[in-house]
Each structure stands twice: as C-alpha cells, then as structure tokens.
Amino acid sequence: MSKDIQSYLLGDKIFQPDYNIKKNNYFIKDLHAYESLCLESKLDPEEFWKKYAIGFLTWHKLFTKVLDESNPPFYKWFSDGELNVSVNCLDVNLTNGNANKVAIIFESDDGQIEKISYRELFVRVCKFANGISKLGYKTGDKCIIYMPMSIEVIIAMQACARLGIIISVVFGGFSSKSLQERITDIDASLIITADYQKRGGKIIPLKDAVDEALSIDTSNKIRNVIVYKRTDKDINWFSSRDIWMFDLESNQDEYIDPVFVNSEHPLFILYTSGSTGKPKGIQHSSAGYLLWAKMTMNWTFNANPTDVFWCTADVGWITGHSYIAYAPLSLGMTQVIFEGIPTYPNSGRFWEMIDSHKVTIFYTAPTAIRSLVKSSDLNKEVHPNNFDLHSLRIIGSVGEPISPETWLWYYTNVGKNKCSLVDTWWQTETGGHMITPIPGVTPLKPGSCSFPLPGIQASVVDELGDEVSPGKGGFLVIKKPWPGMIRNIWNDSERFKNSYFPDELKGYYLAGDGAQIDSDNYFWILGRIDDVLNVSGHRLGTMEIEAALVAHKLVSEAAVVGRPDATTGEAVVAFIVLKGKYPEKHEDLEIAKELRNWVSQEIGPIAKPKDIVFLENLPKTRSGKIVRRLLRLKASGQSITQDVSTVDNISSIEKISISF
C-alpha cells in the first residue's frame, strides 16, 4: 500500500439544499432524520437491517437470523430466508397498481422509441424463462449475457433470476478473448447474446465475438447460444447450438413458477479489474444485494411513483445492474434505457432525450459530462441551455470522482441551480451507494461525495487501521458489514480475503481508494491506491493491459500507468521495450498503432493505450522490480525529484522528454 496519498485542493463553497426538493422528500426528510437513522443503525444494527429487509422485500420464507458473523470476512445475511429476485422486481408490480404502468422507455441508437408495461415485461420474462427451462437449464447453472442495451437484456437478466440461474453480464465492448476468459472462469453452459449492437451509427458484431470466444477454448461447456436479432444482417449459424431469442419465446406459456432460492444464492458474478493480470469475479448474493440496491435507490434518488428515471450506464457494469436491471423495477419506476452514445448524432442527444421523455432523475458519469462540456464550448447549438430540462429535479454522478469545475458546470447548466446533485461513491464490490448526498437534505460541496449513508460506517485510516486526523489522506475503509457487500471472488477465496479484508487494517473492508475527511466531516475521494486505472468510469487493471502487450510478438517488456486526462479522467500510458531495435521516435509509429489494435483485440477498445512510449530499458530496482512511481511522474509531466538510489537504470527514462 502506498503511503504517499496526495490530497486535492478542497473547495469551500457550499450549496444549500433546495427547499422544493426537501418538501417533497419521501424518505429522509432532513438532516435530523438522516442523523437519527445513522444513530439507529449503530445502536442496534440487527434490528435496523431486519426492519428494512422485512419492509422492503417480498419473502417466500422469512429469515430468523439477520447477520452470521461466524466466519469473517465471509459474512452471511438473512441466511435461512428464501426469496426470488424476479418476484421482487416484477410479480409485485402486478398487484400494487403498476401492472399497466410503463416500466421501460427504450430509445434506440437511431431514435426509435419502444415502451413496455410491467405486465408486458412480466409476460415476456416468463415466456423466455419457460424456453430456457425447456432447454434443460436449472437453478445453479451459469449463464453469460453479452448483449446491447435493450429491453431484451433486462428480460434475459430477469428470466435467469426467475430460474435461479447465476449470470455474468459481459460488457459488449470487451473482446472475444476477454469473453472467453469469463466463460471459462464461471464454467458457463449458456450464452445469451445478439447478432449485432448499434452504437453511434455503427453496427458492431456480438455473435461473431461469441463464436470466436468459443473457438479459442473448445473445452467450454456451452450447450446453447441464444441470439437476440437486432439487425437484418447475416451471421454465422450453428443449428445444433444456436437459437433465436424470438423463436425460443414463441408459443411459450405466459407464466412460470419462480424458483425460490436461499438469500445467499449468487444472483450474479461481475468481473472487474484488479491489480493482477486476472480479472476478479465479484460475487453478489440475492437478498442482501437487492435490499441494498433498493434502499439506496430510495434514499439517494428520493424515488417516487411519478419519476422518470434515466441511468445512462451499460448493464455490463455494476451501475447498470443495481440502477437499471433491479432497483428501479423493484420500486415500480418508469425508466429510460438508451442504446446509443451521448455524442450521436450530435452532442445534444442527452439533453434532447431528457426534454423528450421528461426525465426527472438523471444519472451519468463525469466522463460523459466532461465530453459534453467540451462539445458545448465548440458548438453552442448543443449546449444544455437550448433544451427544456425543467423536468429534472435530481442529477447524479457515478463511476469516478467529479472535479469541482465539472460539478459546477453540471449543476449550473443541466441542473439549472435548482436540482440536487448526488455525487455517489460506491463500487462493484459494494453493490450500491455508500457515500452520497441526500437530495434536498445534504448541503453540497462541489467535488465531495459528502457523508456515508445510514448503516455504513466509513472511515479513513492509516497503514495500521487507525483513523487519521481531518485533512490528512489515508485509506478508505468500511468498518462494519452491510447487506449489499461482496460475498467472495469467484473461485478465489484467498484473493478475496487478502484484497478486501487485510489483517493489517483490523479486518476492515478496504475499498482500494484513498480519501480524506475535511473539518466538516465531508469525504473526498483521492483516487486508487493500487494498480487500477479509472478510465471513463471503468476500472482497468494495469497488469491485465501489460500482460496483453507482452503477449505481442514484438514486445519484450511493458509497464502501464495512468495520467490525468481532461475527458476520460485517466488515460492509459504504456512504456514498452521492444524485442528489436529501439526506435528513434517514441510515438506516432506504425508499431504503436499495431499495439493499440492488439490491446483492443485482447481486452477491448476501452483498454487501448492513449500514449505509447518506447524505451531501451524500463527503470527497475536492482532486484528487478519495475519502478512504476517514476513512470507515473513522467506520464504526468512531472520532474523526477524523488530518491532514485535504488534504481538500477534510471538513465533509460531520464533522457526522454515526453509531452502528452
């Protein structure tokens, strides 16, 4: 763990809650109510979580034990209870007055609109689940979902939940090799995909990537590939294995009994990058995960029946799981699902959609906001001021820290100085929001995620797990377990314990982020403390990118670091030693283009290095360890002023003058 966690320059401007939001709060009414809930959760945590679990979820068999702490950090929540996630998301809405309410407004890349009610969604989920069941799939089987944003991907996720099939959703931007690794790791027997996806006016093949992934490792156990037909383009077809989604649904019964599973039954495994070359399969439970997603949907977004909610994330990431596929449906909300990108056909697409669909809650990433700030500066016609955004009452930020400057632009130009801006800190591993403002309640500091939610005991500590003083940087930890927490790393329990609950930090959950708390007790996230980059809100392991680069026939060694980037937050910078002759130029070479394409093929386009620097040697200690701190300094344009006495070949990097 690094001891050199640097803090940002903290702003001191505070924006008070808007009264019109505060008076319409459904859940946490004011700061006093927030503080009372926090106190309640600390004084009697078991009763606190029990109350919400009974009140928020529909149980088949009610639990008798709230938290099992007998084998930390493998905590179990509501472990003798039974329920079904699909029942909690769909069946409940057939009897509470929401049956004919619009569940999803789907807008395609080319602007076509499709709407589906809760009753219609329920029927399609049941028909699809019947089809899967008749293929022989059952509770405990594993399914890979590799699909575009669509109503169909929600149907696939909910149908699997109805049958107790464990899913792993893979982002459609990942390569066939990344897909193959995930198929193998979870031992999947079913894949649900699409022929193509449409994004930004382009048609991108998905089924071809699946076919290639299955050809890489022919020992896979995939029996069927179900294909959603998104286009009229031809694809390769294996009649013994492949099935059209529409054909599978046709003539199926409109109801299927849900399979009630134990509370701790894995709902999904979602892969995220770590500090080693192998992605981590984050395992989440059924009951605890859904409870926390639903609670945070209520608290953070003050969700009410008249809202039109739009989370712009992809379901390939945790945000798309918690705040698209599960929590909004469990609350009977109407939500927008978008197939495209914010800059197609122009950079006013987000604002046009908010206007068109009268979105009331808008949740997106700082990367998207930064790109739209730049576009608005270049083209005033796509500026938010040219669109009617008055339906908005809450705007949110997710995926990475948002700078004060970006925060202010978002608050002023999109929120019109009247919306609560909820800057949410959380992770794939936490299942839902952990530290965030409460709309209409929390005074806002631009760039700060503010305070922990009730039930979350967050702190900033030093290397021994002791709390640091206000204004001092340290490690962000969560001191007590919570229902939505990660349960394990799939197939790697030892890595789970070592990564998230290190002994030296008193067994606290280690978030992997540096943070500090100011004199008003506001939390400020300072960035990663491990070798993980945050590019456009997506976590990328440097070791994974390095492994891909070294696999190229021309590369001898590679070291990957991040540097600040105005658009993506962090940019990937690769320092490379070639097997052949050292090139005279360190950038703009054909080989750099070849290596970028290679990484795109091996991992996916999001992992492509923005900058490639060729070196004769990498700076290393005498024991052979790459000194990445020096590379980070070079990548960020800083001079090397640190002690380099332990570095064996410092001249290899000192002579290079890099200007990104």
Spatial separation of the C-alpha atoms in residues 453 and 294, rounded to whole Å = 13
8-17: buried (b, 16+ CB within 10 Å) or exposed (e) per residue?
Answer: bebbeeebeb
pLDDT, mean of residues 504-523 = 93
Task: Find, among 534, 576, 537, the residue nearest to 558 by Cα.
Answer: 576
159 and 53 both lie in a single domain: yes
282 and 168 both lie in a single domain: yes
Do the beta carbons of residue 488 and residue 494 sit within 8 Å? no
Spatial separation of the C-alpha atoms in residues 459 and 456, rounded to whole Å = 10
What is the predicted pLDDT for the residue at 8? Answer: 35
Residue 14 lies in a domain: no
Average pLDDT across the chain, whole number: 90
Residue 531 lies in a domain: no
Residue 125 confidence (pLDDT) above 50: yes
Q: Which residues are registered as beta bridge partners of 574?
A: 560, 612
Residue 584 confidence (pLDDT) above 90: no
Residue where a domain terminates, one of 437, 457, 477: 457
Spatial separation of the C-alpha atoms in residues 651 and 619, rounded to whole Å = 8
Question: How many C-beta atoms lie closer than 10 Å to residue 292's C-beta?
Answer: 31
Residue 28: phi and psi, rounded to 5, are: -90, 110
Residue 338 confidence (pLDDT) above 60: yes
DSSP state of 386: G
Residue 587 confidence (pLDDT) above 70: no
Whether omega for the bond prior to residue 345 falls within 30 degrees of 0, making it cis, is: yes
3-state SS class at 15: strand
Question: How many C-beta atoms lie closer than 10 Å to residue 650's C-beta?
Answer: 17
> Which residues are CB-contacts of 157 (< 8 A; sequence separation ≥ 6)?
145, 167, 169, 268, 315, 321, 325
114 and 208 both lie in a single domain: yes
Q: Of 240-249, 330-339, 531-540, 567-576, which range is least confident?
A: 531-540
Token code pair at residue 153: 């991907």
Spatial separation of the C-alpha atoms in residues 136 and 141, rounded to whole Å = 10
pLDDT in tens, 228-272: 999 999 999 999 999 999 999 999 999 999 999 999 999 999 998
157 and 289 both lie in a single domain: yes
Residue 54 lies in a domain: yes
Residue where a domain terminates, one of 417, 438, 457: 457
452 and 549 both lie in a single domain: no
Q: Greater confidence, 645 or 113?
A: 113
Residue 615 confidence (pLDDT) above 80: yes
Residue 309: phi and psi, rounded to 5, are: -100, 140
Q: Of 86-95, 145-154, 524-533, which range is least confident?
A: 524-533
Spatial separation of the C-alpha atoms in residues 190 and 199, rounded to whole Å = 25
Q: Which residues are registered as beta bridge partners of 560?
A: 574
pLDDT in tens, 474-511: 899 999 999 999 999 999 999 999 999 999 999 999 99
pLDDT in tens, 63-89: 999 999 999 999 999 999 999 999 999
186 and 96 both lie in a single domain: yes
Task: Find, among 397, 301, 290, the residue nearest to 27 by Cα.
Answer: 301
pLDDT, mean of residues 33-55 = 97
442 and 561 both lie in a single domain: no
DSSP state of 491: T
Cα angle 301-307-312, degrees, rounded to a multiple of 5: 65
> Which residues are CB-contacts of 568 (< 8 A; sequence separation ≥ 6)?
367, 370, 535, 536, 610
Question: How many C-beta atoms lie closer than 10 Å to residue 67's C-beta?
Answer: 19
574 and 447 both lie in a single domain: no
- What percent of the chain clears pLDDT 70, i.e. is strictly above it? 91
- Cα 302 to its chain centre, rounded Å, is 21
Q: Of 419-428, 486-495, 582-591, which range is least confident?
A: 582-591
Q: Is the dihedral of CA 423, 426, 431, 436 positive or negative?
A: negative
What is the predicted pLDDT for the residue at 274? Answer: 58
Residue where a domain terminates, one of 416, 435, 457: 457
What is the predicted pLDDT for the residue at 623? Answer: 46
573 and 450 both lie in a single domain: no
Task: Find, among 317, 388, 45, 356, the residue nearest to 172 by Cα.
Answer: 317
What distances in angstroms separate CA 381 from CA 343, 377, 387, 415, 417, one per listed residue?
13, 10, 10, 18, 21
Residue 382 lies in a domain: no
Token code pair at residue 401: 């820290």
Residue 356 lies in a domain: no
Whether omega for the bond prior to residue 266 falls within 30 degrees of 0, making it cis, is: no
Q: Of 386-390, 527-531, 606-610, 614-618, which range is least confident?
A: 527-531
443 and 583 both lie in a single domain: no
Do the beta carbons of residue 104 and residue 151 sit within 8 Å? yes
Alpha helix segments (H runs only) across 517-576 = 542-550
What is the predicted pLDDT for the residue at 256? Answer: 98
Do the beta carbons of residue 5 and residue 474 sit within 8 Å? yes
Residue 440 confidence (pLDDT) above 70: yes
Residue spans of beta strands (DSSP E) within 177-235: 190-194, 196-199, 202-205, 224-228
Residue 54: phi and psi, rounded to 5, are: -75, -40
pLDDT, mean of residues 113-124 = 98
pLDDT in tens, 555-568: 887 889 989 888 88
pLDDT, mean of residues 136-152 = 98
Spatial separation of the C-alpha atoms in residues 333 and 103, rounded to whole Å = 6
Range of the domain at 620: 536-655
Spatial separation of the C-alpha atoms in residues 278 and 185, rounded to whole Å = 10
Spatial separation of the C-alpha atoms in residues 139 and 514, rounded to whole Å = 40
What distances in angstroms separate CA 540 from CA 6, 247, 602, one per listed residue?
21, 37, 13
Residue 457 confidence (pLDDT) above 50: yes
- Cα 363 to its chain centre, rounded Å, is 13
Number of H helices, E strands in the chain: 20, 30
Structural domains of the chain, count: 2
Spatial separation of the C-alpha atoms in residues 114 and 2, rounded to whole Å = 50
What is the predicted pLDDT for the residue at 43? Answer: 97
451 and 553 both lie in a single domain: no
Residue 397 lies in a domain: no
430 and 576 both lie in a single domain: no
- What percent of the chain clears pLDDT 90, i.e. is strictly above it? 70
Residue 588 lies in a domain: yes
pLDDT-derived band at 4, boundaries 50, 70, 90 = very low
pLDDT, mean of residues 173-179 = 90
CATH code of 314's domain:
3.40.50.12780
CATH code of 543's domain:
3.30.300.30
Residue spans of beta strands (DSSP E) within 285-328: 308-311
Spatial separation of the C-alpha atoms in residues 77 and 45, rounded to whole Å = 12
Residue 113 lies in a domain: yes
Token code pair at residue 489: 């790393």
